[in-house]
Amino acid sequence: MKLLEKEKAQGLRLNGLSLKQIAQALEVSKGSVSAWVRNVTVPREAFFNINDQRRLGREQSRKTRLFNIARLNDEINTKCREEIMPLSNRDLWIAGLMLYAGEGFKSSSVSGQRVEIANSNPEILRIFINFLTKVCLVSKEKIKVRLMLYEDICPEEARKFWSKELGIVTNQFCKPFIKRSYKDEPCRHLRRSKYGTAHVNLCDIKVYKKIIGWLKAIYEYNNF
């Protein structure tokens, strides 16, 4: 019986089948097949077929791996969404304050006190704009946006992008600040944003003092 399987394995190998394919066809272990076909010289044309099969096998393995990763990510995201949603107005309140604590402009000078936060991620700035409108009760028409762009970024394209992402009309955008790009030099910024950085501004000292006061209260509570 083993001799017959060995002869079949050698014949299949000569036809360009891989060890795994032969093992599956004969319902034997891959180790047995490896021993049976060890001395088989695979014809050149069949060898190319084996390489193709290996390449296809690797590609299929890659697709399977990526599919499993995507499925796991979906499961995790679904569970996380169920855990944290729905968000309350207080959740938005705290989220906005924590964003300002990390990214917001602070000034001890009375004349320089304004609400300003900068980021290249629209998601972050959308949260803060919601904080201003829903928690601080600021009219969206009072919010201004100033872009920080490199000289090779088209200001009009950047303005349209940020206007759409933030839900702020373009006439509320200030004149952009243009920086040298350094794109052709060794010190160029490799991870810069395609549309620059947006600064969300609100010239309202009362709102600024509220934000700082809320943060101070949180800091004091945490110290205790």
What are the distances in angstroms from CA 186 to CA 17, 70, 71, 182, 189? 50, 36, 40, 8, 9
Q: Is the pLDDT of residue 223 over 70?
A: yes
Q: What is the pLDDT of residue 30?
A: 81
Final residue of a domain: which of 81, 109, 135? 81
Residues 43 and 93 in one domain: no
The pLDDT tens digits for 151-208 are 889 999 999 999 999 999 999 999 999 988 766 666 555 557 889 999 999 999 999 9
Residue 88: enclosing H or E segment and its boundaries? Answer: none
pLDDT at 215: 95
One domain, residues 93 and 69: no
The pLDDT of residue 54 is: 67
| Cα 37 from chain centroid (whole Å) | 48
Which whole number is the average pLDDT over 103-121?
87
Please tell me the pTM assigned to this model. Answer: 0.70
pLDDT tens, 27-86?
888 888 888 878 777 676 666 666 666 666 677 788 888 899 999 999 999 999 999 999
51 and 114 assigned to the same domain: no
Whether residues 74 and 93 fall in one domain: no
Q: Are residues 102 and 73 in the same domain?
A: no
Q: Which pLDDT score is estimated for 1?
A: 52
Regarding whether 170 and 113 lie in a shared domain, the answer is: yes
Domain that holds residue 50: 2-81
Are both 131 and 58 inside the same structural domain? Answer: no
Question: H or E element: which one contains 78?
Answer: helix 44-84
Do 93 and 174 fall within a single domain? yes
Residues 97 and 190 in one domain: yes
Q: Tell me which amino acid residue 29 is.
A: S
- Given a cut of 80, whether residue 9 has pLDDT beyond it is no
The count of domains in the chain is 2
**Integer Cα distance of 83 and 85 in angstroms:** 6
